[in-house]
Amino acid sequence: MASQWVDVRDLKFILHEVFKMDEQLLGKGPFADYDGETVDMVIDSAAKLAENEIAPTYPDEVHGKSIDAIFKDGKVFAPEAYHRLWKLYCEGGWMTTSDSPDWGGQGFPSIVAASASSMFLGCNQAFLMYPGLTHGAAKLIEKFCSDELKNIYLPKMFSGEWGGTMCLTEPGAGSDLNVLKTTAKRNPDGTFSIKGTKCFISSGDHDLVSNIIHPVLARIEGDPPGTKGISIFLVPKYLVKPDGSLGEFNDVVTGGIEHKMGIHGNATCTLNFGDNGKCIGYLMGQEREGMKVMFHMMNEERQGVGMMGVSLATSAYLHALSYAKERLQGNNLFTGQRYVPIIQHPDVRRMLLKQKSISEGLKVLCLFCYWAMDQQLVAENDAEKDKWAGMVEMLTPIVKSYCTEMGLVVNDLAVQCYGGYGYCREYPVEQMMRDQKINTIFEGTNGIQAMDLLGRKMGMNEGKYFMALMTGGNAHIAEAKGIDNLKAEAAVVETAINAILQTATDFAGMLGTNPFVPLIAACDFLNCVGDTLCGWFHLWMALEATKGVAKAASDSEKAFYTGKIESAKFFINRTTILVPVKCDILKKDETSCVRIPDEGFAV
């Protein structure tokens, strides 16, 4: 019986048949010692951990016990079940799958680590946020701290003995860091005294580890207002002695945890730094470069959130598919057979194929971002390296926003497939939908991602990076035009790409003359870009699947490849095909949401 949590066959198809990593990545540069068989061993091991150990801890309530983070007597306690998971996860080396062996890592390509992570996240996002943020904070220390601090902190963070967070948001400030109030006062020994409050800090405090390391944005006293005056500091929960042992408490006090719609197992904390004047921080990077430093972690987290969107969508789809095969109801309209599995009903099949096509397209979109990171490491010249770096820049806001936005569509359809049962906690799709919603919000709302793409990313390198991304599928389009079964879809994708490029040009002109039109359209435009890119990726997958059908050695393999082709056709002919019309609508001078007075929304 197919898994309700992971789709190993699909991941291997993407890695080996679509991206062809065995020839184009493995055996090169830092990946010289790796081959496809080794990668498959990692994927298989990750699937077992995900399904056998992580998935059973997913429900908000297991055997009558709440799987919530708890705040009691000033302390935060992670769910009891997470302690064993943390140990298994860290001892298995999953914290450092793609990290340098210098710090105990395994050095695999990022796309391999991301593939493993996609299965973990689909089984329990709330738990995976604890090691995910630890890894992000450790990578920031690796890049921006002194060797002395690296040697103290990295071994214990990468091993999972200590945890990590990311501390940006403050009460009342939201995403606007210009009004940041946390301060840093110079001390004679070169350290800084930190004072301020941060809120909505995921994994901010818990008992899975003995120490938690916080990268904290703060303004050094006397530095200018606005983001240009912000620095960033390494602030441990407990100070660390030169020999690496724990010292005294560092005046980082947890004020409480949030009670949220979803991700109940993750502790979302308010942290008070230096209320007693005894909080010490260490400068990371250079003074007044806090935003530049933090965005190295922020971009990693945004890509990770995109993967969260993909993973929850995939799991929800697999659960809905399993349910549809087992749930008996109604008659088959064509055969007259009574009391049949609901997968035989046309509308249920439509919902399932829509879920399948969206989640599969999102998966390749997200993994392509990690593929681009790996390609930088094996690039043969600076121009090639720059091309792939540009791809990552363009893809980051798209991956974060589109994958979570469309992931929520999949989650909604999964609930719908269950009918009334999908709305009940008896089945996990209800929780998956609640958990998915936060992914459209944190690490920069999807509206912020859209503004980033429109206002900053598309113009980078005079628009050449965006052009390279949008024309990256030209070879696949040309190949598909020569295949009768795919030529119509190739034409649809090509037309959508041309519409996106023309709209980008038109919006660039409007920003100087009528900026409200592109600003209002930013989110919808980003989604159109995603619809187009996923159309390309589906076409790419259909090309490889066509070859797979021809060489399939079993009926199940033939069915797998046929499913890929039909999934591609469904997405391209029902979603990508709408892009040109949507782009025409977005360019219309329709600014009613600007013209309407505030009181006009409701009196």
**Are the C-beta atoms of residues 370 and 355 closer than 8 Å to each other?**
no
How many degrees, rounded to 5, is the angle at CA 203 between CA 150 and CA 205? Answer: 85
DSSP 489-506: HHHHHHHHHHHHHHHHHH
Q: What is the 3-state secondary structure (H, E, C) of 121-187?
A: HHHCHHHHHHHHHHHHHHHHHHHHCCHHHHHHHHHHHHCCCCEECCECCCCCCCCCHHHCCCEEEEC
CA dist., res. 533 & res. 472, Å (int): 9
Task: Compute the average pLDDT of residues 428-442.
Answer: 96
Closest by CA to 128, choosing from 70, 58, 198, 71, is 58
- Residue 238: inside a domain: no
Residue 1 confidence class, pLDDT cut points 50, 70, 90: low
**Are the C-beta atoms of residues 237 and 210 closer than 8 Å to each other?**
no
| Domain-ending residue, one of 96, 124, 158 | 158
Q: Read off the CATH number of the domain in which 20 is found.
A: 1.10.540.10
Residue 60 confidence class, pLDDT cut points 50, 70, 90: confident
Classify strands 192-202 and 230-236 as parallel, antiparallel or unpaired.
Answer: unpaired
Residue 398 confidence class, pLDDT cut points 50, 70, 90: very high
At 466, list the tokens: 């965006």
List active site positions.
443
pLDDT at 90 over 90: yes
Domain that holds residue 497: 471-603
CA dist., res. 502 & res. 212, Å (int): 48
Task: Compute the average pLDDT of residues 116-138.
Answer: 97
State the chain's mean pLDDT as an integer: 95
Task: Compute the average pLDDT of residues 489-498.
Answer: 98
What is the sign, positive or negative, of the torsion defined by CA atoms of 553, 557, 559, 564? negative
Q: How far is CA 130 from CA 135, 265, 566, in A?
A: 9, 10, 38
Ranking 58-62, 420-424, 465-469, 492-496 by mean pLDDT, the lowest is 58-62
Compute the residue count for the chain: 603
- Count the domains in the chain: 2
**Are the C-beta atoms of residues 579 and 534 closer than 8 Å to each other?**
no
| Domain-ending residue, one of 143, 158, 173 | 158
**For residue 461, what is the DSSP state?**
G
- Residue 545: inside a domain: yes
- Residue 209: inside a domain: no
Q: How far apart are the first and last CA of the chain?
A: 57
- Residue 352: inside a domain: no
| Domain-ending residue, one of 120, 142, 158 | 158
pLDDT of residue 19: 98
Q: How far is CA 163 from CA 157, 204, 211, 540, 599, in A?
A: 6, 9, 6, 40, 47
pLDDT tens-digit profile of 136-178? 999 999 999 999 999 999 999 999 999 999 999 999 776 667 7
**% of the chain with per-residue pLDDT over 70:** 99
pLDDT at 333 over 90: no
pLDDT of residue 298: 87
Task: Compute the average pLDDT of residues 528-557.
Answer: 97
pLDDT of residue 174: 65
- Residue 128: inside a domain: yes
- Residue 115: inside a domain: yes
Tokens 């949590």: give the residue. 5
Tokens 């649809």: give the residue. 492
pLDDT tens-digit profile of 195-225? 999 999 999 999 999 999 999 999 999 999 9
pLDDT at 65 over 90: no
At 494, list the tokens: 């090509």
- Residue 599: inside a domain: yes
- Residue 50: inside a domain: yes
The whole model's pTM is what? Answer: 0.96
CA dist., res. 232 & res. 141, Å (int): 11
**Are the C-beta atoms of residues 206 and 290 closer than 8 Å to each other?**
no
**What pairs with residue 71 in β-bridges?**
76
